Amino acid sequence: MSEQWQAELAEGFGSVRDLLDFLGIAAPFSVEAAGKFPFRVPRAYARKIRPGDPYDPLLRQVLPLGQELASPEGFVSDPVGDRQALKVPGLLHKYRGRALLITTGACAIHCRYCFRREFPYAESQFTRQREKAALDYIARDPELGEVILSGGDPLLLSNDRLARLTDQLAAIPHLRRLRIHSRVPLVLPSRIDDELLEVLAGHRLKTVVVIHANHPRELGGESDRAFAAMRHAGLALLNQAVLLKQVNDSVSTLCELSECLFERGVLPYYLHLLDRVRGTAHFEVPEAEARMLHEALRRRLPGYLVPRLVREIEGQPYKLPRGSCETT
């Protein structure tokens, strides 16, 4: 097993002050906010932040601000109904045909807009002790054709743990696809090594990796090597982004993101309106503005480069389209 990625994960920034010193940035931040939702940034991601720029859009995604301590109406602990959708510990079943496993609470990077920042991982994640109930649930439902590995970040699981899990899922006859949601190819690309790719491609299920790039400058460098390696292994690559104020809320940024993704063999998939979890109101782009941005994207890009603008609403049978030319 390669230990490089584990060493890089351990050497990441756990102190806001250390990151700002590394970048040569004097920017205000909130110690209290960092205490409520811990700070973590890998060095591979830190190297993509523009030195000396306190307004850098990558920095804004990870910098704890005092605005997180506000409690405006409508921002809650579980904005998308994850807890209500828990059928057994570790398994969410919201939508027909697919189920989601909360495989870990660990992430390589702590994004300040994270919709699971208050999720009760200790009692609700998929562990070795709880796996039988979750796998039995999947096996009993012949309508399930796809299982999604989420978290946290599922690619922080060991290769042995991932291999065991993918083998168990591949043994369920009615499953057709395995979907993995991960920010690791962007923020800790050394994790995408040959042994991991053998695990992800070494079973009968078609594997889709949904990465999470919000800004074109998150791409490039070692991440490009990771994308190429995943494509070579036969993995399908999609991207989902979150529309974030002062990060990617411009037509030019979103167009560049789609173009840069496609150049790397990644198809734009979703552009999410912010999930309204407590502590994230300063990231919200009003829906009317989001619709106008999406309409501008449709006018400037070919259809296959326009991600679907969606909002997840608790209790709905799918993510609801919000684009100006789409119906709800």
What ranges make up the beta strands (E) of the chain?
A: 86-88, 91-95, 98-102, 146-150, 177-181, 206-211, 236-242, 267-272, 308-311, 320-321
Nearest alpha carbon to residue 75 among 215, 318, 280: 280
Location of structure tokens 């250390």: 18
Whether 267 maps to a domain, the answer reads: yes
- pLDDT averaged per 10 residues in sequence order, the chain, 328 residues: 85 98 97 96 98 98 97 94 95 97 97 96 89 96 98 97 97 98 98 98 97 98 97 98 98 98 98 97 98 98 98 89 60
Pairing between β-strand 146-150 and β-strand 177-181 as defined by DSSP bridges: parallel
Whether 151 maps to a domain, the answer reads: yes
DSSP state of 13: B
Where is 4: in which H helix or E strand?
helix 4-10
Record the tokens describing residue 66, joined without a space. 């005092």
Cα 296 from Cα 284, distance rounded (Å): 19
Residue 229: per-residue pLDDT: 98
Instruction: Report helix, strand or coil for 152.
Output: coil
Residue 2: per-residue pLDDT: 61
Cα 83 from Cα 87, distance rounded (Å): 9
Whether 8 maps to a domain, the answer reads: no
Largest CA distance in the chain: 56
Whether 116 maps to a domain, the answer reads: yes
Q: How far is CA 143 from CA 134, 173, 178, 181, 184, in A?
A: 15, 11, 15, 21, 30
Whether 9 maps to a domain, the answer reads: no
DSSP string, 21-86: HHHT------HHHHHHS---B-HHHHTTSPTT-TT-HHHHHH---GGGG---TT-BS-TT-TTTTE
Whether 198 maps to a domain, the answer reads: yes
Whether 73 maps to a domain, the answer reads: no
Residue 1: per-residue pLDDT: 44
Residue 328: per-residue pLDDT: 35
Check which CATH number belongs to the domain holding 181 and give it: 3.20.20.70
Residue 19: per-residue pLDDT: 98
Number of domains in the chain: 1
Whether 54 maps to a domain, the answer reads: no
Q: Domain of residue 163: give its range.
A: 80-321
